[in-house]
């Protein structure tokens, strides 16, 4: 799923969501927890090396992610967002032949941290926002510990919409794509190599406080 493919869906949902204009067009701080679906949709270069302790494809690392976000709206249209989320996965394991030895699944934890600029093009009409920025995708856990937990820099694009609940809560629904390149080695062998795209579809419930 790509960001541009979600524009129509989010616009349609936002257009039928009743949000008071005064609640949308304001400045303020929003902080709260989030839950997300982390879905890597790229591929590894087929010429890279292979290890049974590492995922055979990026989608092996997908799963439910938990985290938090903080947003600062400087004006009705412009803001900044900091977000962090972690997803754990298990892969591999089973019977390996020749020798027919049994191995246990390996665990990996992917942590994404992003800093994004936010833009609401029409805050008095639709609660739709777009984001762009930079992030870090840390590959950790037992699977990546021997390789120093590679943490490539990523470009970030996203969009979503907000639903204001009462005077102090905001439900934020969004989809974010992270673009980066993997190229890490172990014992002189390149294991995971090539451009990557990770999708993070999230729902957050944030406490909101107006600044002025």
Binned at pLDDT 50, 70 and 90, residue 211 comes out as low
Q: For residue 80, what pLDDT is reported?
A: 97
pLDDT greater than 50 at residue 19: no
Do the domain assignments include residue 152?
yes
CA-CA distance, 26 to 212, in Å (whole number)? 8
Q: For residue 96, what pLDDT is reported?
A: 52
pLDDT per position as a tens digit, 145-171: 888 889 999 999 999 999 989 888 999
pLDDT greater than 70 at residue 8: no
- 26 contact partners, CB below 8 Å, separation of at least 6: 73, 76, 210
Residues found in the chain: 212
Q: Record the pTM.
A: 0.80
Do the domain assignments include residue 140?
yes
Do the domain assignments include residue 21?
no
Q: What percent of the chain is predicted at pLDDT more than 90?
A: 53
Do the domain assignments include residue 151?
yes
Do the domain assignments include residue 19?
no
Q: Shortest CA distance to 124 belongs to which of 176, 175, 75, 72?
A: 75
Do the domain assignments include residue 172?
yes
Q: For residue 157, what pLDDT is reported?
A: 98
Query: Which phi and psi (to 5°) does residue 19 adopt?
Result: -125, 125
Task: Return the structure tokens found at 90.
Answer: 């298990």
Which domain CATH number covers 113?
2.40.160.20
Supply the range of the domain harboring residue 146: 3-14+27-92+105-209
pLDDT per position as a tens digit, 75-121: 999 999 999 999 999 886 554 545 555 567 789 999 999 999 999 99
Structurally, the chain folds into a number of domains equal to: 1
Do the domain assignments include residue 158?
yes
Q: Are 72 and 79 in contact (CB under 8 A)?
A: yes
Q: Which is more confidently placed, 55 or 70?
A: 70
Q: For residue 98, what pLDDT is reported?
A: 52
Mean of per-residue pLDDT scores for the chain = 83
Q: For residue 87, what pLDDT is reported?
A: 97
């Amino acid at each position: 799923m790509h960001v541009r493919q979600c524009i129509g869906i989010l616009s349609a949902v936002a257009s039928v969501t009743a949000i008071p204009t005064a609640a949308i067009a304001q400045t303020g701080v929003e902080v709260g927890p989030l839950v997300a679906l982390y879905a890597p949709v790229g591929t590894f270069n087929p010429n890279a090396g292979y290890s049974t302790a590492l995922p055979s494809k990026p989608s092996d690392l997908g799963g439910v992610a938990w985290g938090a976000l903080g947003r600062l709206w400087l004006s009705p249209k412009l803001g900044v967002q900091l977000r962090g989320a972690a997803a754990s996965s298990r892969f591999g394991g089973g019977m390996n032949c020749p020798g027919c030895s049994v191995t246990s699944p390996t665990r990996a934890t992917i942590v994404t941290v992003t800093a994004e600029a936010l833009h609401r093009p029409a805050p008095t009409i639709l609660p739709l926002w777009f984001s762009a920025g930079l992030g870090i995708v840390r590959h950790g856990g037992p699977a990546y510990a021997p390789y120093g937990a590679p943490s490539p820099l990523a470009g970030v694009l996203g969009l979503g919409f907000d639903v204001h609940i009462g005077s102090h809560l905001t439900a934020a629904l969004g989809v974010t794509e992270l673009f980066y390149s993997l190229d890490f080695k172990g014992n002189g062998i390149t294991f995971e190599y090539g451009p990557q795209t990770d999708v993070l579809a999230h729902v957050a419930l944030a406490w909101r406080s107006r600044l002025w």
